[in-house]
Amino acid sequence: MKKNRVLSVPFGLWAAIFIVIPLLLVVWYGVTVEEPVAYEEIVSADGTVSYRLENGSVTDEKPWQKKVTVSFSNFRRMVEPTYLKLLIRSLKVAFITTLICLLLGYPVALILTGKDFKHPSLWLMLIILPMWMNFLLRTYSWMSILENSGILNSWIAALRDKIPAFDGWLTSLGVGKKIIFLYNEKAVILGMVYNYLSFMIMPIYTVIEKTDKSLLEAASDLGASPVQSFLRVTLPYSLPGVLEGITMVFVPAVTTFVISQLMGGGKVPLIGDIIQNQFGKSSDWHFGSTLSLLVMVVVLAFMRGLNRIDKDDEPEKEVRIL
């Protein structure tokens, strides 16, 4: 029987190389810093300059090497108010996004699993369809509507030209000729809700759809009103879907840097932006890794909190496949 498990070796190896080692590298970079090698400049009598390193060796070239030391200074740097504020803002934005997605998405799932639509799967597909477009394009579409010289502003301008009363009303409200929709937190949240709403709807729909309809019939048979049977049957049964939806929205929302850069125009930096920065412009991989570790811990802790029940529905029995 042992030979049936021979496949797990190459696969385990693959998982080690592409999942475990990279994550360990993040941890290693996170707990280390890089410093220039210390040296002493020696100017000899004839004016040539040589350099003595810590270990006593002397070279003519200026030492360029850097040395890596274990240090937790990046953790101290991480809890500086600048970065802490960013983390808190990221969590806040992600939380609001998740909440809005849940409030908008749950009714969609509920209505589509009800009897009011003949082809619920068709409607669900229409909801998923925009997700098949590129993530960047989805975000971009809102930019082109909301930007200062965008579609919405030009429509409002046209309306103002045609209807003086509307113009007067807006002016009296103190609204300028160009309304700035983008480059604030609300715009970032809008972008996130638009991108992630389907992630909330899908798992909830799947769970409610799978719920035995006779449970609802039984509930109403036992005298439950529609509201009661929703609260006592549908809602508790849909909870796993809700939890999955929350995870699928919250995790990407808390770490994105695309939406904050495009919709927020760099004015609403989130923790993801800072990480991206450390691996790009600032080029401090060590601090970037420390922040990645932070994100990883926050996300994993969040998930742990959500699914405290660790379920394994796989067969206890061994089943032969090969």
Partner 1 sequence: MRKRLNRLYIGLIMLFLYAPIVLLILYSFNDSKSRANWGGFTLRWYKELFHDQTILSSLGVTLSIGFLAALISTVIGTVGAVALFQMKRRPRQTLLSIVNLPMLNSEVVTGVSLMLLYALVHLQLGYLTLLLSHIAFCVPYVVLSIMPKLRQLDPNLAEAAQDLGATPIQGFFKVILPDIMPGVFSGFIMALTMSIDDFVVSFFTTGSGVSNLSITIYTMAKRGISPKINALSTIIFGCVLLLLIAVNLRDIRKDGDLQKKLEKVTIPY
- Out of 281, 308, 311, 317, the residue judged to bind partner 1 by CB under 8 A: 317
Query: What region does 317 belong to: left with phi over 0, alpha with psi -120 to 50, or beta?
Result: beta
Near partner 1 in 142-201, by CB under 8 A: 142-145, 147, 149-151, 153-155, 194, 197
Output the six-digit token pair for 209.
């759809």
Q: How far is the CB of 231 from partner 1 (least distance, A)?
A: 17
Rounded least distance, CB 49 to partner 1, Å: 32
Nearer to partner 1 among residue 53 and residue 145 (C-beta) = 145
CA distance 265 to 188: 9
Instruction: Identify residue 81 by its one-letter amino acid code.
Output: P
**According to CB under 8 A, which residues from 123 to 152 bind partner 1?**
123, 125-127, 129-145, 147, 149-151
Residue 205 touches partner 1, criterion: CB under 8 A: no
CB of 79 vs partner 1, minimal distance in Å: 19
Beta carbons within 10 angstroms of residue 240's beta carbon? 17
Count of chain residues binding partner 1 (CB under 8 A): 93
Q: At 33, give phi and psi (nearest 5°).
A: -130, 160
The neighbouring-strand residues paired with 103 are: none
Q: Which is nearer to partner 1, 233 or 294 (CB)?
A: 294
Structure-token match 């006593």, residue found: 56
Helices (H) and strands (E) in the chain, counts: 15, 5
What residues between 1 and 20 interact with partner 1 by CB under 8 A?
4-5, 7-8, 10-12, 14-15, 17-20
Give the residue with the Cβ less far from partner 1, 47 or 213.
Answer: 213
Residue 227 CA to residue 223 CA, distance in Å, equals: 11
218 in Cβ contact with 125 (< 8 Å): no
* Contacts to partner 1 from residues 93-122, by CB under 8 A: 104, 107-108, 111-112, 114, 116-117, 119, 121-122
Strands (E), 169-264: none
Shortest distance in whole angstroms from residue 270 CB to partner 1: 10
Residue closer to partner 1 by CB (options 53, 224) is: 224
216-255: which residues touch partner 1 (CB under 8 A)? 251-252, 254-255
Q: Which of 206, 145, 211, 135 is nearest to 179 (CA)?
A: 145
**Residue 175, C-beta contacts closer than 8 angstroms, at least 6 positions apart:** none
| Contact present, 191 and 93 (Cβ < 8 Å) | no
Residues between 36 and 75 with contacts to partner 1, criterion CB under 8 A: none
* Identity of the residue, 62 or 177, whose beta carbon is nearer to partner 1 in the bound complex: 177
Contact characters 270-309, partner 1, x per CB under 8 A: --x--xx--x-----x--xx--x--xx--xx--x------
Using CA atoms, how far apart are residues 245 and 241, in angstroms rounded to an integer?
A: 6
Nearer to partner 1 (CB atom), residue 41 or residue 313: 313
Q: Report yes or no: 295 and 270 within 8 Å, Cβ to Cβ.
A: no
Should residue 258 be labelled a site residue for partner 1 when binding is judged by CB under 8 A? yes
Q: Identify the residue among 196, 199, 205, 257 touching partner 1 (CB under 8 A).
A: 257
Q: Shortest approach of partner 1 to residue 47 CB, angstroms?
A: 39
